[in-house]
Amino acid sequence: MEQFSDLLKTRLKDPAYDFRQDSFLNYLKTPRRTHKESPTVKDYVDFSEKDLENMATGIYGKLDLEPGGRDCDILIGNGQIVSKKELKGVKISNIEESLDDLPPAVWEKKGKDREEFLINASWNTGYFLNIQKDREVKVTIDAYNNGSDSGSEKNIIFIGAFSKVNIIESRYTEGEAKGNPTQGKATYIFMGEGSTLEYNYLQDKSTGVSDITFVRTYQEKSSTFKIFHINHGSGKLLFVNESTQEGNESDYRVFGASFSNGRQSIDVRDSSFQIGKSTSADIQVRGVVKGSSSTIHRGNVDIELPSVLSSGFYDSKILLLSKEGYANSKPGLIIRNNNTRSKHGSAISNVDKEQILYLESRGIDEKTSTMLITGGFIESIIEKSNNEKFIETVREYSKDINF
């Protein structure tokens, strides 16, 4: 990482310099995981030191995109806003243009993970979305990265008290992926009292790209956060989603699905960290594995000592559709008081032959039967979204994964 140290002293010396420096020191202090801490650590998606160095030293350049004909409110190329619509009560800007205006809370959040520390040290692009209080807003974001570029970005979303917000964010690559690029991003969401957010996140990058994504949400009193995350692309993927429920009576719900095929490796981690009283967390994730790909779900429900009268649930299910594929699920409960309700569960299986025989007895061939069962397995999670286009895209993924 000597190259990054030089980069930090020169090209990244901006108003966020102290934050970057602290984040980089945290990265250096955090050792790589080894298989000694758990027998299954060796099966996690591994990002080499070279991958991380590519991400940290990569500087996203301008990506020319034609805004015409695109049905989105914000169009982003390599982390830079290409075009945006005027939305009442919403401020939209590139993060580097807003550094002096960001509240102190932004710089207090440096993350928890080694890769996240490095993203927070190295980003050079990203967006800032500030939604005023008492608003009802829907925002659609289409974001593209050059398929050959490595780099990282930092995104900040503020939601004012008692606002109701729906965000649909889709992530793609533009052009052919070359040179084993690693692309990272960290998105931090701050929710005011009584606010509501439904965040629909879709990732469908080229399988030639390695992708590292962190989504962290900070919830105040009586706020409600619901995330639907779909990971379909990227050759190597780490997706980490965690909400810190500091406010009493805050509610956190996760509905996630991943599709892996070929040689893809997917590592999805959803967790709750509950501090406020009477908080609730419900995490439901599904995975479909085919070819020689691998998928692992891991995450914790963490209910801290002050979080009495709270509940936390984690449920993971993975369909393994090939003998060469690999699936693993590692849910965990960290419960620090005895006045809570919590449970976790996981299941890994192939398609039930009895279900296929039942459908075949109704005149449906095996191929179509498998597609219907897989589609229903995923759609049971995604149908709770309020965005029909998002749901339809996932239905297409369910059809394609089998054949």
Average pLDDT over residues 81-89: 94
Verify that 186 and 54 share a domain, yes or no. Answer: yes
Q: What's the pLDDT score for residue 394? A: 79
11 in a structural domain: yes
Answer yes or no: are the C-beta atoms of 160 and 193 closer than 8 Å.
Answer: no
Verify that 227 and 359 share a domain, yes or no. Answer: no
Instruction: Look up residue 279 and give its two tokens.
Output: 């908080």
Instruction: Look up residue 399 and give its two tokens.
Output: 């059809």
Verify that 241 and 358 share a domain, yes or no. Answer: no
Other Cβ atoms less than 10 A from the Cβ of 362: the count is: 7
Helix or strand run (H / E) with residue 117: helix 114-122
Q: What's the pLDDT score for residue 305? A: 96
Q: What's the pLDDT score for residue 392? A: 81
386 in a structural domain: yes
Cα–Cα distances in Å, from 9 out to 89, 112, 398? 38, 24, 47
325 closest CA partner among 288, 354, 355: 288
* % residues pLDDT > 90 (the chain): 68
Question: pLDDT band for position 365 (50/70/90)?
Answer: confident
- Residue spans of alpha helices (H) in 263-365: 353-361
How far apart (Å, rounded) are the C-alpha atoms in residues 123 and 56?
A: 8
Verify that 45 and 174 share a domain, yes or no. Answer: yes
Last residue of a domain, one of 183, 214, 247: 247
DSSP string, 293-313: -EEEEEEEEEE-TT-TTEEEE
Strand partners for 139: 167
Q: What's the pLDDT score for residue 374? A: 75
Residue 265 has pLDDT above 90, yes or no: yes
Q: Is 49 helix (H, G, I), strand (E, B) or coil?
A: helix
175 in a structural domain: yes
Measured at the alpha carbon of residue 335, what is the angle toward residues 330 and 336, in degrees to the nearest 5? 145
Last residue of a domain, one of 190, 217, 247: 247
Q: By mean pLDDT, which of 163-172, 215-224, 341-350 is the weakest?
A: 341-350
Verify that 172 and 55 share a domain, yes or no. Answer: yes
Decide which of 273 and 392 is more confident.
273
pLDDT tens, residue by residue, 306-337 = 999 999 999 999 999 888 999 999 999 999 99
The residue to which tokens 């980490």 are assigned = 240
How far apart (Å, rounded) are the C-alpha atoms in residues 113 and 94?
A: 25
Cα–Cα distances in Å, from 59 out to 55, 180, 215, 339? 8, 15, 21, 49
Last residue of a domain, one of 247, 276, 297: 247
Residue 393 has pLDDT above 50, yes or no: yes
Cα–Cα distances in Å, from 382 out to 14, 221, 247, 298, 386? 41, 27, 27, 20, 9
94 in a structural domain: yes
Q: Per the structure, how many domains does the chain have?
A: 2
Q: Which range is most confident: 9-18, 259-268, 342-351, 384-393?
A: 259-268
* % residues pLDDT > 70 (the chain): 97
Residue 117 has pLDDT above 90, yes or no: yes
Amino acid (1-letter code) at residue 21? Q
Residue 373 has pLDDT above 50, yes or no: yes
Verify that 181 and 37 share a domain, yes or no. Answer: yes
Q: Is 143 helix (H, G, I), strand (E, B) or coil?
A: strand
Q: Is 40 helix (H, G, I), strand (E, B) or coil?
A: coil
Answer yes or no: are the C-beta atoms of 184 and 118 closer than 8 Å.
Answer: yes
Q: What's the pLDDT score for residue 401? A: 58
How far apart (Å, rounded) are the C-alpha atoms in residues 83 and 81?
A: 6
Question: pLDDT band for position 64 (50/70/90)?
Answer: confident
Question: pLDDT band for position 403 (50/70/90)?
Answer: very low
Taking the whole predicted model, whether its pTM rises above 0.85 is answered as yes
Domain of 99? 2-247
Decide which of 395 and 28 is more confident.
28
Answer yes or no: are the C-beta atoms of 204 and 169 closer than 8 Å.
Answer: no
Residue 395 has pLDDT above 60, yes or no: yes
165 in a structural domain: yes
Q: What's the pLDDT score for residue 36? A: 65
Q: Is 350 helix (H, G, I), strand (E, B) or coil?
A: coil
Q: Which range is most confident: 15-19, 26-30, 164-168, 396-400?
A: 164-168
295 closest CA partner among 331, 272, 253, 263: 263
Query: What are φ and ψ of residue 354, in 5° steps?
Result: -65, -35
399 in a structural domain: yes
294 in a structural domain: no
102 in a structural domain: yes
Average pLDDT over residues 184-205: 97
